Amino acid sequence: MFKLLKNGNVYAPEFIGKKDILLVNRTIAYIADKIKDISTFGDVEVIDVSGCSVVPGFIDQHVHIIGGGGEGGFSTRTPEIMLSDLTSAGITTVVGTLGTDGVTRHLESLLAKARGLEEEGISSWIYTGAYQIPSPTFTGSVRSDIMLIDKVVGCKAAMSDHRSSQPLLSDYAKLAAETRTGGMLSGKAGVLHLHMGDGNRKLDMIFSIIAETELPITQFTPTHLNKTKEFLAEGIRFAKAGGTIDITTSSPAVAPQRVQAPDAIRICLQEAVPLERITLSSDGNGSMPAFNENRELVGLMAASPASLYESLRSIVQQEIMPLADALRFITVNPATKLKLPNKGRITTGYDADIVILDKDLNIQHVYAKGRCMVENRQVKVKGVFEK
């Protein structure tokens, strides 16, 4: 019931110094320079984390938790994610999404998987919709999905992609309006999460909607903006206008053409993008299809959620920015943008989602809602069907 993390260097994500942290069940109950006199509490597990960094559990806001892909036929559908794929990478909160295939992948399965991951110990939310518009929904409308289904924080659609259903500007504007009112009426973020393809139109349609309607730029959370340097430049223009940009971390092995996440962050810094307007996500278990100039499929791999943490480490080790700043992209920024309650910070009353990093930034321990999921670099809690 009680766990005491002693002597860690705590990043909330801003650095708050060497602290002791008391976890009570699933909650961060108390933080102080020294916590003593715990003998009367009964059983307290004391974990000495001297010399380690204690940071918020990571939030991955774009993961294909039931798999995705299929662009090369049925055998190329990517597999479901397993609990330890996430926890071993420090991810304690995940947002699940459908992808290109909105026919054989269903929102009901996505919701069931999200609930399954929750039962297994981490926190989860989902987007309604898929690539296509009209969006698949649970209830008949995106607005009521957001209002009535607790786990739905927004809607997903594809834009500037040859795999989209080629919606018109008005289709996107209507969808964004639906997500907005659904979010307002339920106190949720209600974002329109846009998978951006490699089309020449880039973010043009979003800029047009903002110019021509009453919808604010904050309504949109476009992702995969580091597709190319030119695409990233448009993303930076979007962020400077007040939007939040999501950069995909998948590794050079699966997406060699991308501006790799650490390089993208370096460019954002050079361009003075405010740090609170950047998030990172892994696109975990999404397919990484390679198309030639005729849009023919020439290769396919699946992305790994581990790239989220690997990018964080690279950003710090390449001295692009200090740990406290880099952590924002996968903790407080997505939590704020998606209005995830009690997530993304180490502070009293928040969920006890905590990652312990050693001095070389290796993941030592992971706590999700107070439960130790990874201990001494070993997965301690496995998913139901994991060996």
Q: Which of 57, 286, 305, 383 lies at the binding interface for Zn ion (CB under 5 A)?
A: 286
Closest residue to Zn ion, judged by C-beta, is 286
Segment lying near Zn ion (by CB under 5 A), choices 50-58, 78-86, 277-285, 345-353: 277-285
Closer of 222 and 286 to Zn ion (Cβ): 286
- 138-177 in b/e burial notation, b at 16+ Cβ within 10 A? beebbbbbbbebebbbbbbbbbbbebbeebeeebbbbbbb
CA–CA separation, 267 vs 278, rounded Å? 12
Region near Zn ion per CB under 5 A, out of 144-152, 280-288, 291-299, 342-350: 280-288
- Give least dist CB 64 to Zn ion, A: 6
Between 127 and 367, CB nearer to Zn ion:
127
Give Cβ neighbours of residue 239 (< 8 Å, ≥ 6 apart).
245, 268, 273, 274, 277, 278
Count of residues engaged in binding Zn ion, rule: CB under 5 A: 2
- The piece of 101-109, 151-159, 170-178, 275-283 that touches Zn ion (CB under 5 A) is 275-283
Cβ proximity to Zn ion, 44 vs 297, nearer residue: 297
DSSP 216-285: -GGGB--B-TTSSHHHHHHHHHHHHTT--EEEE---TTT-TTS--HHHHHHHHHHTT--GGGEEEE--BT
DSSP string, 304-354: -THHHHHHHHHHHHTTSS-HHHHHHTTTHHHHHHTT-TT-S---TTSB--E
The phi and psi torsions of 328 (rounded to 5 degrees) equal -50, -40
Ranges within 322-351 binding Zn ion (CB under 5 A): none
Cβ-count burial 286-325 (b if 16+ within 10 Å, e if not): bbbbeeeeeeeeeebbbbbbbbbbbbbbbbbeeebbebbb
CB of 147 to Zn ion, least distance (A): 25
Cβ at position 303, least distance to Zn ion in Å: 8
Q: Is the peptide bond before 341 cis (omega within 30 degrees of 0)?
A: no
Distance, in Å, from the CA atom of 263 to the CA atom of 120, rounded to the nearest integer, reads: 35
| Residue 283 binds Zn ion, judged by CB under 5 A | yes
119: Cβ–Cβ under 8 A, 6 or more apart, which residues?
none
56 binds Zn ion (CB under 5 A): no
Of 25-33, 138-146, 185-193, 284-292, the segment contacting Zn ion by CB under 5 A is 284-292
Least distance (Å) from Zn ion to the CB of residue 62?
A: 6
Looking at the Cβ atoms of 158 and 372, the one nearer to Zn ion is 158
In one-letter notation, the amino acid at residue 283 is: D
If binding is defined by CB under 5 A, does position 101 make contact with Zn ion? Answer: no
- Name the minimum Å distance from CB 329 to Zn ion: 17
Q: Of 121 and 334, which has the nearer Cβ to Zn ion?
A: 334
Between 8 and 286, CB nearer to Zn ion: 286
- The CB-of-17 to Zn ion minimum distance in angstroms stands at 38
Shortest Cβ 292–Zn ion spacing (Å): 21
The answer to whether residue 204 is catalytic is no
In the complex with Zn ion, which residue's Cβ is closer, 57 or 305?
Answer: 305
Spatial distance between the Cα atoms of 229 and 231, rounded to a whole number of angstroms = 5
65/83 Cα distance (integer angstroms): 10
> Of residues 85, 145, 283, 325, which has the active-site annotation?
283
Active site residues: 283
Task: Please report, as ranges, the residues that interact with Zn ion according to CB under 5 A.
Answer: 283, 286
